Amino acid sequence: MSALFRPSETRFYNSKHLGGNAPETDEIDFFFYVPHGAKPEAFLAQHPDYLKQARLTREQLTQICHLEADVFTPELAHNMAQKLAAQGYRVAVLNVFLPREIIDANRVQGHSVRPTYNNGEVNNGQVRFLNHLFNLYYLQVVDERRRLINKLTADGKWLDLHSMRPFSTDLDGQAIPDGVDYVERLRHRIDRLAGPHVRQTRTHAVISTFKEHPDQEGHLYIDPILLESLKEIFNTLGIPLSDDIYYFNNAVLGSVSHNDYEKGAAIEMVKTELSNLGPFGQFDLACLEADPAKLSFYGNVLIKALLLAREKTQEKAPDIRRYTPGQADQWIQQHRHVAA
């Protein structure tokens, strides 16, 4: 029987503990959530039984997990947490250790455990055990994320951090058609994503609306003040920032609730922009290396937006820091239109 795996780690930062080993406090000023930064090796070492049921080889599974991991987001979160803590703020970072092509903590329950193994064989005792265990891991992450969001001060802010490849494929944003096996689609994705690439057309992006179809108008699914601040800072610095061009929230693609985003935003940073890759060089998505200078630069950019959003929130309600959590949530609901 597989032993329990640690699905995530929460680290707290303050001015005396810049390394993320601060004692936990009742309130925090900023929170960074990193749902897709994990590679698969530690998980697979802990769960050899999974490989017995997997519909991909170890090599294929490792390859797709590396290709689809939101690389550099753990480092980016740590960079920002240290800098904010050095300024006197209390910060939490939640790093998820679940490989997203096995268990995706950013999907709704029922879609979080990925069909990369024989989870349809309900009469298989090992499969039933894995289903139960994987759902337990998922729920632990979701509960911890909600617990940390609830710790935010009334003017606190948080980011749901992602990184994306710098180009599109014809598979992006499409549901799996009827009759097309999920694992076969993954094999096709491996073929499309592996190997050298030169296309770099995407820009960093926020995910601001909830809708079921790209043609729908949808409704705001983000802290409007934080959205406004992100756009303002990126524009001031001359950095392109798209809004809902590549991804949007829908009933499957987000386990984060509407209320959770009252103080937060989901943002997609382009992987190659955080790496040591030059503007025109060939690259392999599975072999990118972080560039500390770029991580520091974009960490500073996002911090500027977070601090601006915090300042604007205080200006809208100068005494918001004295509100009870319920009063603060009510005020935020009443003022969601400010950046619309």
CATH of domain 8-339: 3.40.630.40
Strands (E), 39-192: 91-96, 152-164
* Parallel, antiparallel or unpaired: strands 209-210 and 219-220: antiparallel
Cβ atoms 105, 141 nearer than 8 A: yes
The pLDDT of 197-213, averaged and rounded, is 75
pLDDT tens-digit profile of 116-146?
877 556 567 778 888 888 889 999 999 999 9
Instruction: Specify the pLDDT at position 126.
Output: 79
* Amino acid 338: pLDDT: 40
> What pLDDT, on the 0 to 100 scale, is given for residue 131?
84
Mean pLDDT to the nearest integer, 208-218 = 67
pTM summary value: 0.86
Query: What pLDDT, on the 0 to 100 scale, is given for residue 178?
Result: 54
Q: What is the mean pLDDT of the chain?
A: 83
Confidence band of 261 (pLDDT split at 50, 70, 90): confident
Query: CA-to-CA distance for 248 and 215, rounded, in angstroms?
Result: 11
What is the helix, strand, coil percentage profile of the chain, to 5?
A: 40, 20, 40
329 pLDDT higher than 60: no
Q: Which two tokens stand for residue 4?
A: 């329990």
Whole-number pLDDT of residue 84: 98
Mean pLDDT computed over 34-60: 90
> Tell me, what's the pLDDT at 125?
78
Rounded Cα–Cα distance for residues 81 and 93 (Å)? 7
DSSP string for 252-317:
TT--S-TGGGGGEEEEEEEGGGGBS--SS--B-GGG--B-HHHHHHHHHHHHHHHHHHHHHHHHHS
The percentage of residues in the chain with a pLDDT greater than 70, rounded to a whole number, is 77
Residue 95 has pLDDT above 50, yes or no: yes
> What pLDDT score does 1 carry?
44
Task: Give the pLDDT score at 170.
Answer: 53
SS3 15: coil
The pLDDT of residue 253 is above 70:
no
Mean pLDDT, rounded, for 173-201? 69
Q: Is the pLDDT of residue 220 over 80?
A: no
Write the pLDDT tens digit of every residue in 262-284.
Answer: 899 999 999 989 998 876 667 77
Mean pLDDT of 239-265: 73
- The gap between the terminal CA atoms of the chain, to the nearest Å, is 52
Q: What pLDDT score was predicted for residue 173?
A: 45
Residue 32 pLDDT grade (very low, low, confident, very high; cuts 50, 70, 90): very high
pLDDT of residue 4: 73
pLDDT above 90: percentage of residues in the chain: 46
Split at pLDDT 50, 70, 90, the class of 235 is very high
> Token pair 């935003």 is at which residue?
265
322 confidence band (pLDDT: 50, 70, 90): very low
Report domain extents, the chain.
8-339
